[in-house]
Structure formats: C-alpha cells, structure tokens
Amino acid sequence: MIRQDKSSLPVQLASQNHLLAALALPELKRILLNAELIELKSGNKIYDTGERQQFVYFPITSVITLLYVLTNGISAEIAAIGNEGVVGTSLFMGGNATPNCAVVQRSGCAYRLPGEFLKAECNLAGPVLHLLLHYTQALITQMTQTAICHTHHSIEQQLSCWLLQNLDRSPTNSLTMTQQLIANTIGTRRERVTEAAGHLQRAGLIRYCRGDIEVLDRARLEKMACECYQVIQSEFDRLLKIPLN
C-alpha cells in the first residue's frame, strides 16, 4: 500500500482519473484530503457479492472488473472500470451493496475514499453529485450493452470489443491477460477464447503469446468489434462532457 501525507497528495496524479480531473480544484482538494493512494494487485477482491461497501475507488493505473457469479461458479463481466470512472456507485446511490463482486483485473494504484465522506459530499447536491450521476448513467449503458453483447454477438466480436476497451485504459498497445481470465470475464469456455484469439492473430490484428497480447492493427480491430464498443464510448463522451453547473 502506498501512503502519503494527505496534505501533499499530488493533484497531478489524481487528475489521471477522468472523473477527478473534471472537478474544480476546491472539490478535488477536498476529496484528496480524505482519500488515500493505495496499490491494488491483480486478482484481489475489492468487495464480494452482497457485501456492504465501505469505500469507493477511483482507479489511476489499475483496472477493476465487476463480475456476476452464478451459483455454479461461472462468472461474467458486467462492466470494467479504469481511470475513466469510480468503483462503488451503490454507495452514493443509497444501496450500499450489490449482487456482483469487484475484482482487480490489472494491477496499479487507485485513490480510496471512505463511503461516508462521499455520501456527505453528494448531500451538498453540488458538482460532485452531478458528475457522479452522469457517470452512473454511462456505466448503466456499459452494463446494458455488455449484456446484449454476450447474447447476440460472436466471440470474435466480443473479444475485439473487450480488447479495445482495455486498450483505452492502457498506456501502451499491449495487455497481459491469460485466456482463462478472458474466458471468465466474457463468460465462455477457454477453448472458445483460444479459437477467437487465434482467428484475430491469423488476421494480423493482434499478436498473442503466453498471456501477452499486442494489438497490431487497431483500425481493423475496431471494424471487427461489434457496435457495442462505439455505443459505450459515445455515451461516456456525451455524458461526461455535459457542463456540471
């Protein structure tokens, strides 16, 4: 865990999270004085199904996936959250818990903020609340589109969409992810992911070797992806560019 003197938490680092960057300096500093910078490791569980949430997380370099786990152990991703968002929307929406769990998909750092502080901030009905409501609407679109994607689109399309979304949260054209983890995320068998990844590799869109994925041709990968990628991106762009006052 990375700890710093709260009076000197770097605004520049916090601003790598798009939501925090959208806040005016007074609101941002007020949040940082009550937050701590922590390091998250891949595979760590942020919260479990039905568990009362104590904190919200603003990812900086980490990515956190929201998973729904069936009673037979099969899981599927309903949303992934990186530096564009916040994990823990049920806290400021009044639910305190959800039927999904949150697991760290990519190691990195995040700002962790006590839920009670965020609730108090939202009760002011100011810019922070307005921003979080805009974000929540975009997140709901992502969840809805993901459900549609799992039902109606091919594994190649789903994998392409998933790769693009994760690429948007990465500083490079490379990702490290095992086929089993991708299968658990998409909600399918590992063999189907192997087949789809092989198809994308033979087409020259990606290079895949022992969990390391390099995107070679993003433009063609976007054409391979289903419409879900553009729908989700457009909604995030639309809602998070709305003036907050």
For each of the domains in the chain, give its residue range(s) and CATH number, in order of start. Answer: 6-125 (2.60.120.10), 154-225 (1.10.10.10)
Written as one letter, the residue type at 78 is I
Compute φ and ψ for 6, nearest 5 degrees.
-60, -25
What pLDDT, on the 0 to 100 scale, is given for residue 43? 87
What averages of pLDDT result for each successive group of 10 residues across the chain (245 residues)?
47 88 90 94 90 93 89 81 92 82 92 93 89 93 88 90 88 81 81 91 91 91 91 88 54
Using alpha carbons, select from 81, 88, 76 the residue that is nearest to residue 35: 88
Q: How far apart, in whole angstroms, are the C-alpha atoms of residue 81 and residue 76?
A: 15
What pLDDT, on the 0 to 100 scale, is given for residue 77? 84
Q: How far apart, in whole angstroms, are the C-alpha atoms of residue 92 and residue 111?
A: 16
What pLDDT, on the 0 to 100 scale, is given for residue 5? 44
What pLDDT, on the 0 to 100 scale, is given for residue 35? 93
Across the beta sheet with 174-176, the strand order is 174-176, 212-215, 206-209
What pLDDT, on the 0 to 100 scale, is given for residue 38? 95
Compute φ and ψ for 2, nearest 5 degrees.
-95, 120
Written as one letter, the residue type at 224 is M
Compute φ and ψ for 91, nearest 5 degrees.
-65, -50
Coil, strand or helix at 212: strand
Residue bearing tokens 């809805």: 144
Contact yes or no for 14/6 (Cβ under 8 A): no
What pLDDT, on the 0 to 100 scale, is given for residue 3? 45
What pLDDT, on the 0 to 100 scale, is given for residue 244? 46
What pLDDT, on the 0 to 100 scale, is given for residue 199? 93
What pLDDT, on the 0 to 100 scale, is given for residue 176? 83
Q: How far apart, in whole angstroms, are the C-alpha atoms of residue 228 and residue 239?
A: 17
Contact yes or no for 28/13 (Cβ under 8 A): no
